[in-house]
Amino acid sequence: MTLNAQVKADLLRRIRTGAYAVGAKIPSLRALAAEYGVAELTVHAAVRELQHEGVLESSSGRGTFVRALPSDAGPDDLAAVVAELQSEVAGLRDRMAAVEEAQRRG
């Protein structure tokens, strides 16, 4: 699982458990990046996906807020899960091909 997928999954977990309620402001990208120990761009990618899915909403100069619970986010949420699974399968396919090639050579 990519770093931004891990950040996204944790943000979703926090929203589902009520740590970030609907209408609540989430910490800044900088604060989240420091908390997760990743680059701000990684957090930004996760937040952007959640905005696209309708879970988060940013307001210029005010911050990013929880717009809806993930279960209320709609079918884009499923599309994101499918895209992530496709990415993971492709990565596994590549790793398996490398292992098979190494076995043939050795």
8 Å CB contact between 42 and 17:
no
Q: What is the pLDDT of residues 27-41, one digit of tens each?
A: 999 999 999 999 999
Question: Architecture of 3-105 per CATH?
Answer: Orthogonal Bundle (1.10)
8 Å CB contact between 26 and 65:
yes
Q: Which of 37, 36, 58 is nearest to 49 (CA)?
A: 58
DSSP-assigned letter for residue 70: G
Q: Report the C-alpha gap between 104 and 106 in whole angstroms.
A: 6
Q: Report the C-alpha gap between 71 and 91 in whole angstroms.
A: 28
Is pTM beyond 0.85? Reply is no
Instruction: Kindly state the average pLDDT of the residues 57-82.
Output: 78
